[in-house]
Amino acid sequence: MAESDDPFSLFATWFAEAERGEPNDPNGMVLATSTPDGRPSARMVLLKGWDTDGFVFYTNLESRKGRELQSNQAVALLFHWKSLRRQVRIEGLAAPVSDAEADAYFVTRPRLSRLGAWASDQSRTLESRGALVAKVAALEVRYAVTEIPRPPHWSGYRVRPELFEFWQDMPFRLHDRTVYARDIDSWRIEKLYP
């Protein structure tokens, strides 16, 4: 694996390669949170933006992940690009994005996705699929001629990395693993045994 002093630069290279070569959702990532009593919880989310300040995703703030993030901001992300035989692990702290940033992203979503943000009581019991369809239909009427505003319970988080691990599959399971751990204003770089 080509080394870099900057994990964001290496991520940019790998992510660009994933965008070109990964057939399904190269921006798909596992988000791991934990309950207040320390039980892990993981699910797939989509990366919607990233830069040297962190990695951004959006969610219903009242969902299970939203509630877990409110009680414990320590998270882990995992990108797995199977066709490239690579993965990137990121550990860090999640913080809410600004309302302006959430608003700007929300208006770029397809209309039905914006309606779905209002209709879904994410992570809560759904009495029937018909109930969800009916809520969406009612919202389509409500917002037939007006702009769909961002719901107050829908926003984003930015994960500021404290650790990266770049993993490259190698023959005979002698994988290449490089860890970048944040120091105050630099990155400590280490190799790990596979």
Over residues 87-129, the pLDDT tens digits come to: 999 999 999 999 999 999 999 999 999 999 999 999 999 999 9
Question: Does 128 map to a domain?
Answer: yes
Using pLDDT thresholds of 50, 70 and 90, give the confidence band for residue 2.
low
What is the span of the domain harbouring residue 90?
A: 7-107+151-192
| Domain CATH number, residue 96 | 2.30.110.10
pLDDT confidence of residue 4: 81
Using 50, 70 and 90 to split pLDDT, how confident is the model at 161?
Answer: very high
Phi and psi angles of residue 69, each rounded to the nearest 5 degrees, phi first: -65, -30
Same domain flag for 56 and 136: no
Residue 2 lies in a domain: no
Name the token pair of 131: 């109930």
Same-domain status, 163 and 78: yes
Q: Give me the active site residues, please.
A: 173
Mean pLDDT in the chain?
Answer: 96
Mean per-residue pLDDT for 63-76? 96
Instruction: Name the pLDDT band for 1 (thresholds 50, 70, 90).
Output: low
Is 1 contained in some domain?
A: no
Gap between the Cα atoms of 12 and 136, Å rounded = 38
* Same-domain status, 164 and 80: yes
Question: What is the residue type of 165?
Answer: E
Same domain, 49 and 144: no
Length of the chain: 194
Q: Are residues 86 and 121 in the same domain?
A: no
* DSSP structural state of residue 148: -
Q: Residue 22 domain-assigned?
A: yes
Residue 57 and residue 134 share a domain: no
Look at the chain and report how many structural domains it folds into: 2
**pLDDT higher than 70, residue 158:** yes
Q: 192 in helix, strand or coil?
A: strand
Q: Are residues 63 and 137 in the same domain?
A: no
Query: Is-above-0.85 flag for pTM?
Result: yes
DSSP states along 79-122: EEEGGGTEEEEEEEEEEEPPHHHHHHHHTTS-HHHHHHHHH--T
The answer to the question of residue 70 being in a domain is: yes
- Give the Å distances, CA to CA, from 101 to 116, 119, 136: 19, 22, 25
Considering the domain architecture, whether residues 54 and 78 belong to the same structural domain is answered as: yes
Q: Which amino acid, 143? A: Y
